[in-house]
Structure 1
Amino acid sequence: MKGVLLVNLGSPESTNPKDVKKYLDEFLMDERVIDVPWLLRAFIVKGIVLNTRPKKSAAAYQKIWWEEGSPLIVLSERLQEKIDKFTEVPISLAMRYGKPNIEQGLKELSAKGVDEVLLLPLYPQFAMATTETILVLAEELQKEKFPQMKLTTLPPFYNRPDYIEVLSRSIAEKIENLDYEHLLFSYHGVPERHIKKSDITKSHCQIDGTCCKTPSPAHQFCYRHQCYETTRLVAEKLDLNPDAFSTSFQSRLGFDPWLQPYTDRTIEKFALNGIKKMAIVTPAFVSDCLETLEEIAMEGEEIFHENGGKEFTVIPCLNDREDWVKTLSSWINSWAELTEEESIVK
């Protein structure tokens, strides 16, 4: 019997600093998030970050927390419930960090008689710290605790026409009657070394402005390429003027170089250069979360206004909108209809 496990990033159980600290510990101690030797990672996370960051992060979560709970969790649950109405296979939900975790999700499916699972990471682009860490953990759990279960993974969908159609429509709905001067595509940042570590050719990725545009097998696992390609495809779909949009990367930790340009500095630059009205979309996320609701919609807007900007429009993530639900459901139904001999997700 087939079933599907939707997997999102995760969230603290509450805005209490103790819960936030527990969540950050699990998240930041992941070797694919902070990819340094364990002792150094433990020193950074347990010795420094967890002594200073939880209270600050808890305050940020308090700004965006809903009455029902974490926005990311609530929105993911709504998505799951809606997909369930358009599909005939069991649908479970899990988070990479926090609860419900991946083991719980697989256990729930197994209890329903599922022995073939479509693992569906809710990330359009591939990255070590998102898709890869989900796949690695799921495979470890499958081998250790669910040996009779077969796992199939939906590949990154950053360039699938139906995804681009839905994303473009969500943007168009917000900007069609908006007199904006610039549309910024802001993606979550990652350290530059992650890009080079994911390069299966070991030579293509130079992060020099040209490698992402030059065809290569490396693009299959290149987060930077996939982000820029998402922007390109949407801009093409919406027939955007090349001067009216750009791409940036938000959220960074530590002092190592991360993907640039940085979103906060880009917003500041636009405002200082006379842009009065801008819109921003965050296509690395399909569900609104701390990074979109607080970092962009609050901090980003504050930066824009402080430096002379006037109108700052944040475009919501796809969340549980109907066309996105139907798109995901169609992917699931296509997979569910495959015979045992067919192994590729169509």
Structure 2
Amino acid sequence: MSKSATKGVLLVQLGTPDAPTTADVRRYLTEFLMDPRVMDIPYIGRTVLVKGIIVPKRAPLSAATYRTIWDDKTGSPLMYYSELQRDLLQRELGDEYHVELAMRYQNPSIESALATMERMMLDSIRVIPLFPQYASATTGSVVDKVMEVMRSWQYFPQVSFVSNYCDDDEMCEVFADHARRFDIQTYDHVLFSYHGLPVRQLGKVDPSGQLKCPDAGCDACRVEKNAFCYLSQCYATSRAIAQKLELSMDHYTVCFQSRLGKTPWIQPYTSDTLHRLAKKGVKKLLVFSPAFVSDCIETLDEIQVEYANEFKALGGEEVTMVESLNSDPKWINVLKRLAQG
């Protein structure tokens, strides 16, 4: 803790279990899925569904998956890269700033990070959710929790939030740089696979309460109609990266993974896209996951293992994952710029 710091920066990731055990995964999933911004149904129904059905079934399976990506020395990949980002950003910002890392779910908690910052009597706090695209279930939940925790403070520094940076030029350049490590022209198709959301959550962000734009994802939708549409921001990120790599529109597809339950989620689903491409004779896929700034279970297992095996079973030959932003110095420079406002 720097005694000379007057400005605070709070980096917030989604979260990770403390250990790859069923008990720890159960705690993580319960906190995550009981968030009303994530599972946006009435409390009683949410409690029955989450605690009575989903978590008891998924916790042992998820724990087994976490064990396959858990490192004996560094632990959770998401935690490892998040801590690196915090430390590298602190080095770049210098003693005038104090950088804290928190997880929206589990540890280190937002409560503990803000308690440290409260004791420092900082002049300002800049909150940076580590989600490039805005969604109520991610960035919105972070803002909600920070405001809830700070409600009891007896003094208030200047507080600001970064809402999104979905088409930040330098961030998209880092993703493009990571893709250039491969011979892109040898791949038959490129996927931009994002975490999914229930369709109803898109409608809730529309001021009218309904998603009226059938062509969600177009420039006009994002700029003129609804700047906070998650779907539109995913398309904006994909277009920005594709332009840097000179990909034609017919050479890439935007799709969505990690759906849950029977309610309609954003489409096309990644799994369905794999089936469609395999049926067309596509053999080699290059995959981005630009909703994540750190490699994690969704990239290291869901895409590189689960989807890769599914694609190969359909006749495909190769699925190559583009590394996330992780500790790339250019990404740290993006965080520095966001922190300085």
TM range (shorter): over 0.9
Unmatched tracts of structure 2, length 5 or more: 1-5
Query: Is residue 44 from structure 1 mapped to residue 52 from structure 2 by the alignment?
Result: no
Determine which of 156, 166, 171 is the counterpart of 1:158: 166
What do the CA deviations read for 1:285-326 (whole angstroms, capped 9, x no partner)?
101111111111100110111011112111111011111112
Q: Which residue of 2 aligns with 1:322?
A: 329
Q: CA deviation at 1:206?
A: 3.2
Determine which of 169, 189, 199 is the counterpart of 1:192: 199
Q: CA deviation at 1:114?
A: 2.0
Distance 1:300 1:6 in 2: 30
Q: CA deviation at 1:62?
A: 1.0
Determine which of 80, 87, 90 is the counterpart of 1:81: 87
The answer as to whether partners of 1:200 and 1:217 remain within 8 angstroms in 2 is: no
Unmatched tracts of structure 1, length 5 or more: 336-344
Between the two proteins, what is the percent identity of the paired residues?
Answer: 38
Q: Which residue identity lines up with residue 93 of structure 1 in the other structure?
A: L
Give the secondary structure class of the aligned counterpart of 2:8: strand
RMSD: 1.6
Determine which of 6, 10, 29 is the counterpart of 1:24: 29
Distance 2:153 2:77 in 1: 31
Distance 1:14 1:57 in 2: 11
Q: CA deviation at 1:217?
A: 4.9
Distance 1:146 1:73 in 2: 32
Q: Which residue identity lines up with residue 244 of structure 1 in the other structure?
A: H
Distance 2:327 2:117 in 1: 22
Distance 2:128 2:101 in 1: 10
Q: How does 1:119-158 map to 2 (within 5 A)?
A: 119-145=127-153, 147-158=155-166
Deviates more, 1:323-332 or 1:83-92: 323-332
Q: Which residue identity lines up with residue 86 of structure 2 in the other structure?
A: Q
Query: Is residue 72 from structure 1 mapped to residue 78 from structure 2 by the alignment?
Result: yes
The answer as to whether partners of 1:212 and 1:219 remain within 8 angstroms in 2 is: no
Q: Which residue identity lines up with residue 280 of structure 1 in the other structure?
A: V
Query: Is residue 4 from structure 1 mapped to residue 12 from structure 2 by the alignment?
Result: no
TM-score (norm 1): 0.92
Q: Which residue of 1 aligns with 2:254?
A: 247
Give the secondary structure class of the aligned counterpart of 2:226: helix
Determine which of 92, 97, 107 is the counterpart of 1:99: 107
Q: Which residue of 1 aligns with 2:314?
A: 307
Deviates more, 1:112-121 or 1:249-258: 112-121
Q: CA deviation at 1:268?
A: 2.4
The answer as to whether partners of 1:201 and 1:217 remain within 8 angstroms in 2 is: no
Determine which of 32, 38, 42 is the counterpart of 1:33: 38
The answer as to whether partners of 2:195 and 2:258 remain within 8 angstroms in 1 is: yes
Query: Is residue 235 from structure 1 mapped to residue 242 from structure 2 by the alignment?
Result: yes
Distance 1:207 1:174 in 2: 37
Give the secondary structure class of the aligned counterpart of 1:20: helix
Query: Is residue 287 from structure 1 mapped to residue 294 from structure 2 by the alignment?
Result: yes
Structure 1 residues 207 and 44, CA, compared in 2 at 3 Å: closer, same or farther? farther
Structure 1 residues 20 and 321, CA, compared in 2 at 3 Å: closer, same or farther? same
The answer as to whether partners of 1:118 and 1:152 remain within 8 angstroms in 2 is: yes
Count of residues in Structure 1 that have an aligned counterpart in Structure 2: 332
Q: How does 1:210-225 map to 2 (within 5 A)?
A: 212-215=218-221, 217-225=224-232
Q: CA deviation at 1:171?
A: 2.2
Give the secondary structure class of the aligned counterpart of 2:151: helix
Structure 1 residues 131 and 210, CA, compared in 2 at 3 Å: closer, same or farther? closer
Q: Which residue of 2 aligns with 1:108?
A: 116
Structure 1 residues 137 and 147, CA, compared in 2 at 3 Å: closer, same or farther? farther
Q: Which residue of 1 aligns with 2:281?
A: 274
What do the CA deviations read for 1:134-159 (whole angstroms, capped 9, x no partner)?
00110111112464333201120002
Structure 1 residues 175 and 285, CA, compared in 2 at 3 Å: closer, same or farther? farther
TM-score (norm 2): 0.93
What do the CA deviations read for 1:137-188 (whole angstroms, capped 9, x no partner)?
1011111246433320112000222222222222223344x61010100000
Q: CA deviation at 1:116?
A: 1.4
The answer as to whether partners of 2:278 and 2:315 remain within 8 angstroms in 1 is: yes
Distance 1:147 1:140 in 2: 14
Q: Which residue identity lines up with residue 85 of structure 2 in the other structure?
A: L
